[in-house]
Each structure stands twice: as structure tokens, then as C-alpha cells.
Amino acid sequence: MEKENLMARHRVGNSYLSDEELSEHQSENWKVWIFIIAALFTGFVVANITDGKIDLKLMRFSIIIGSAILVGVIAAKLSEVIRWAVYLSIVLGITFFVGSLIWSSL
């Protein structure tokens, strides 16, 4: 008698994903959100830097959009590192908070 394939299945929307597919799905979600956040932040910063310095509207628009897309793509490529850094900062923040509570109670 053959063993059954006892792989975990995770429901996402209307479909069921294996562990590997779920990990890939979560990674893609992180990439999308990191791209959006990095592009918006970069666009805002570049728009403020170029305000009043570049008179030609098309050139200023191209610089803002181009830099936002470039930084967004680079950030999306580094999404695994950024994801790891976010998780680490959350753990360190919780550790610091608990440590400060213990320290203040001594």
C-alpha cells in the first residue's frame, strides 16, 4: 500500500496552495508592496528636490517617474533582505520593550 501524500495545503482566495506555492505567493506580495512603497517615497523625495530647479515640466516629470521606478525595481529585487530586516527589527523592538520593562521594575 502506498503512502498518502500528506502535504499541507493553504487556502488563498479560491485556490489551495502547497507550502512552496504559499511561500512564493507571500514573496511576490512583499515584492509588490516594497516596490510601491519605495517608488512612492522616491517620487516624493525627488519631486521635492527638483521643485523650482528644473523648469521644463516634461523633464522634471521624466526624472521623477524614472527614478521612482528604478528605485522601486531595485528595492523589489532586494525584497528578501528587506523582509528579513523588517522581521529582525520587530523582534529586536519587542526584545527592547520587554527588556526595558524588566529594567524599570528592578
Q: Which tens digit of pLDDT belongs to each residue from 12-44?
A: 777 888 888 888 878 899 999 999 999 999 999
Residue 32 lies in a domain: yes
38-62 in b/e burial notation, b at 16+ Cβ within 10 A?
Answer: bbeebbeebeeeeeeeeeeeeebee
Residue 101 lies in a domain: yes
What's the pTM? 0.75
What residue type is 26 in one-letter code?
A: Q
Question: Could you give the number of structural domains in the chain?
Answer: 1
Residue 2 lies in a domain: no
Residue 14 lies in a domain: no
Residue 46 lies in a domain: yes
Residue 10 lies in a domain: no
Q: Which tens digit of pLDDT belongs to each residue from 48-105?
A: 999 888 889 999 999 999 999 999 999 999 999 999 999 999 999 999 999 999 999 9
- What pLDDT band is residue 2 in, cutting at 50, 70 and 90? low
Residue 7 lies in a domain: no
What residue type is 57 in one-letter code?
A: K
Residue 30 C-alpha from the chain's centroid = 5
| Residues spanned by the domain of 90 | 20-105
Residue 3 lies in a domain: no
| Nearest-angstrom CA–CA distance, 91 and 18 | 27
What residue type is 101 in one-letter code?
A: L
